[in-house]
Amino acid sequence: MPELPEVENIRRALEPHLAGKKVVRAAVRGTGLRVPFPTHFAERLKGATIRQVSRRAKYIIAELSTEEALLVHLGMTGRWRMERDGKSFEPGAFYYQSPMQPKHDHVTLMLEDGTLLAYNDTRRFGVIDLHPLSEVYQSTYLRNLGLEPTLEGLDFEKVRALFAARRSSIKATLLDQKVIAGIGNIYASEILYRAKIHPFLPTHLLSSKRSADKLKLLLRTTVEVLENAVYPTGEPITLRDEFKVYEKAGRACARRDCGGRIRKQTQNGRSSYFCPRCQKR
């Protein structure tokens, strides 16, 4: 499942191909993905110029000249394919390796410069919807999303207040999209390892005065880990080898002076990876 850095990577790779381009034709196959396609979808897109491509959490937002926004969430298996001059490529492809099957193309857009853009989604958990541009941030998709994990978005006092009310584990809190938007299972483990915080630590303990430095470190680390995973060019990149704990169970802790071994433990139905020695509870 693409996490926030992958989505940002895809956004950056898509934008130069889409910004300023007019949609000359649009088509959908089937009735929808996780939610039904918007009514008259193809007609509403035809003739629209894409002004810019932005992002909120894991939603890609294409702002249209028709004062509507095309809202896209990749779900579990959503991907974009482009075809131009007889060549096919995947903007911002990440660690996906399997070739895309055209039978899973659910939406196709033809741009004025001859580029074909196809949204491909094997499991159809994605979302493609249209909303009035002026209200897109109040849409049901976006209005309840948590803080954006950037230095400006993760305001220390705001986070502290949110954390103070939570008895659940810090790992569960990091995954809760209503608290901080866009962190998934892989990066939650990586962030907690780098900040030396045990994934089972009750969240509210990080809101105490004594834990202020720890919380600041967690916020800084969150931004760093996610930013490090974003690349400016949208080249196909494999990040797996750069993970310190994710899927590294049994390996020696990357901190040489630690001597611990990475442990895998199920937490709320998901796998958590951590070093029990340097991530004290």
Q: Which residues bind Zn ion (CB under 5 A)?
A: 253, 255, 258, 260, 275, 277-278
User: Tokens representing 213?
Assistant: 């430095």
Smallest distance, Å, CB 271 to Zn ion? 18
CB of 76 to Zn ion, least distance (A): 32
Nearer to Zn ion, 133 or 258 (CB): 258
Nearer Cβ to Zn ion, position 240 or 251?
251
Are 7 and 98 a contacting pair, CB within 8 Å? Answer: no
226 closest CA partner among 2, 4, 1, 24? 4
CB of 203 to Zn ion, least distance (A): 22
Q: Which two tokens stand for residue 222?
A: 């969150």
Nearer to Zn ion, 118 or 201 (CB): 201
Which residues belong to the active site?
A: 2-3, 58, 270
Cβ 65 to Zn ion shortest distance, Å: 53
| 259 C-beta neighbours (distance < 10 Å), count | 11
Which residue lies nearer to Zn ion by CB, 74 or 275? Answer: 275
